[in-house]
Amino acid sequence: MNKPFKLAVKAILLDDHNRCLLLRRSPVCRNFVGKWEWPGGKLDDGEDFASALLREVREEASLEVEITGFGGATTFEMAAVRIVLLCMEARCAQGEVRLSEEHDEYAWASLTDLAHWDLTDHVKPFMLEYANRKGGV
């Protein structure tokens, strides 16, 4: 019996200096505590991926963003499901970063420097591939 596939989204939220927003997972998270990640998460039932992306960034960083492009996609396995992860480029429309309890720190990380961050392991290969493709790493 194959595990079902579920869709998740991540925002590659870029500023004018080719830096992306990273959030650090707090101790309330069930796993990957202390690892850095792009904002995002799984789609709610019946939710389209673009709405999910805007909602997740709003919940996790208190920012209103606009999706600007398609960054790429990757896949990884979790205990009960296989995740297909769509990574969308976005830019900040308004707001200042305020974190939820899910994260305890944020940073604007240069794409050229992304390899030096302690990124979530299952998405790290894609994040570095993306940064490399965009001229970083």
Residues that bind a second copy (CB under 8 A): 2, 4-5, 7, 43, 45-46, 48-50, 66-70, 72-73, 75, 82, 84, 86, 88
DSSP-assigned letter for residue 98: -
Give the C-alpha separation, 35 to 28, whole Å.
Answer: 13
Give the C-alpha separation, 137 to 92, whole Å.
Answer: 23
Nearer to a second copy, 44 or 118 (CB): 44
Minimum CB distance to a second copy, residue 120 (Å): 18
Nearer to a second copy, 6 or 124 (CB): 6
Pairing assessment for the beta strands 82-94 and 36-37 based on DSSP bridges:
unpaired
Minimum CB distance to a second copy, residue 72 (Å): 7
